[in-house]
Amino acid sequence: MIEQKLLEIENLSTTFSRGGMALPAVRDVSFSVGKGEVLGLVGESGSGKSVTLRSVLGLSKRYGDVTGSVKWCGTDISGFSERKMRQVRGCEIAMIFQEPMTSLNPLLTVGLQITETLSAHTKLNGAERRKRAIEMLDMVGIPSAAERLGDYPHQFSGGMRQRVMIAIALAAHPKLLLADEPTTALDVTIQAQILDLIMLLAKEMDMGVVLVTHDLGVVAQTCRNVAVMYAGRIVEQGAVRQVLKSPHHPYTVGLMRSVPQDVPPRTQLYSVPGTPPSLENLPAGCAFAPRCQNTSSNCKIERPMLVNTDAGRKLACFNPVQALQGELA
């Protein structure tokens, strides 16, 4: 018997408008996440990763047009009203936003911000909500949890604020966690602690996770599957070991080459040439063609579709790279 996926996204597209011009931020994105599964979404800034997560939760509807199917436990929630989405958002699907200092309310204590979630999504009384809030702060590793309930966000360090965000997200015991670069602007030691914490809690709670990150090393250590996004589309998708050890899309190859490995001192580091395209002026064909060194004539006029290739991998490329497997392994 095939286990039903928690989240199934098909042809998700999000388009914003400015001055009468359509700006496609996410285009025909499809993926699924099962119970206990960790999926990594990687790509440069502006590739559509964060907008994808916000579109899943219905947050992008306020500012743009969202189309496609978003199935949660078999039910399509893409057409849910804001009132119905609030029953799912924060309770069954939770999100850790990128910047805790801008996501946390500076005028409210962290204890109140945790209990707000519990008040909205549980039937716990005041004393029980306070007890759960203390348990959550203790779970995420904040010392003297009961005493810190009355503190404000500015009284916590960057790493501790991120832990508070995790506590708020997990307070109602969600089935799926959307983590939008949860370690941004944190030092390396704190990054490792935060990621270890998320993975530990995901395992203990048998929770699915979608992890947005720039760090391919993080993806290699924590994720089962990975989807590489560029200009709002998924260009390569598959098992982490398969994609990272033997990337086929030139963009994925470029990302892998950008990770320093045994580089001699004073050696210039590799970076993918060029810059991501503007949403106002996307190429007619493959969006990566202007930066790609493996293009052909059809790359500039025809957009490659994401299709199944070998052993479950999906790829959107007319000229996949395979000669560099040994170099990148």
Answer whether 0.85 is exceeded by the pTM. yes
Is the distance from CB of 128 to CB of 85 less than 8 angstroms? no
Which of 98, 31, 92 is closest to 57 using CA atoms? 92
Per-residue CA distances from 145 to 134, 150, 157 (Å) = 6, 10, 15
CA distance 50 to 26: 10
Give the gyration radius of the chain's Cα atoms: 21
Q: Please list the ranges in the chain whose pLDDT falls under 50.
A: 1-2, 323-329
| pLDDT single digits (tens) 16-31 | 998 888 999 999 999 9
Burial of 215 (0-12, 13-18, 19+ CB in 10 A): middle
Which of 52, 51, 43, 27 is closest to 304 using CA atoms? 27
Identify the pLDDT of residue 106.
93
Site of tokens 């996501």: 103
Identify the pLDDT of residue 328.
41
| pLDDT single digits (tens) 109-131 | 999 999 999 998 999 999 999 99
Identify the pLDDT of residue 325.
45
| pLDDT single digits (tens) 71-117 | 999 999 999 999 999 999 989 999 998 877 788 999 999 999 999 99
